[in-house]
Amino acid sequence: MIRMIDKTLLDELSTEAQAAERRRRNRNFHPHDDYPANRLLNAIEPGSYVMPHRHAEPTKDETIIVLRGCLGMVVFDDAGEVVQASRLGPAESALGVDIAHGTWHSVFALVSGTVFFEAKAGPYRPLTEAEKAPWAPVEGSVQAASYLAQLMEQFAAAS
């Protein structure tokens, strides 16, 4: 089966993300979570907090390509200090990023309607506690919104 990645699909996914409590929505192209290659679209809206994390497994390098909008990507050292902040998107100098496993990172939407393509080895596994940054607030916590605001300030200062 062939599935087109077109403006209609991006619009539909962005509308779903805007209505979602977490302000993001993904559309998987892989048929099930234990498939060997995870490929998906991820629509993310401003205000959606992706807790800094890393993928520990050596096969879990992650590739992100922004199709629409603008994504802020932040890389951290082991102490939680920002070591890189980059804008990714069609109007930016970088369209995407390839993140090596073991790298602490987070992403967030800088504009409404941001959609990116993501690929990494399967099977899908939820993050383990060791893969979640111990220095960052958990998603849904009271501190998450202010931490995201700080990341965005740091990001703005770094760009």
- 35, two tokens: 């498939």
Predicted confidence at residue 159, as pLDDT, reads 46
Q: Which tens digit of pLDDT belongs to each residue from 97-135? A: 999 999 999 999 999 999 999 999 999 999 999 999 999
Domain 7-158 has CATH 3.40.640.10: no
Q: How far apart are CA 159 and CA 152, in angstroms?
A: 10
Q: Which residues of 109-118 are buried (b: 16+ CB within 10 A; e: fewer)?
A: bbebbbbbbb
Which sequence spans correspond to the domains of the chain? 7-158
| Residue 1 confidence class, pLDDT cut points 50, 70, 90 | confident
Q: How far apart are CA 137 and CA 114, in angstroms?
A: 23
Q: Which tens digit of pLDDT belongs to each residue from 12-58? A: 999 999 999 999 999 999 999 999 999 999 999 999 999 999 999 99
Q: Which tens digit of pLDDT belongs to each residue from 48-102? A: 999 999 999 999 999 999 999 999 999 999 999 999 999 999 999 999 999 999 9
Phi, psi for residue 24 in degrees, rounded to 5? -155, 160
SS3 state of residue 138: coil
Q: Which contiguous run of DSSP H or E holds residue 98?
A: strand 96-99
Percent of the chain at pLDDT > 70 equals: 97
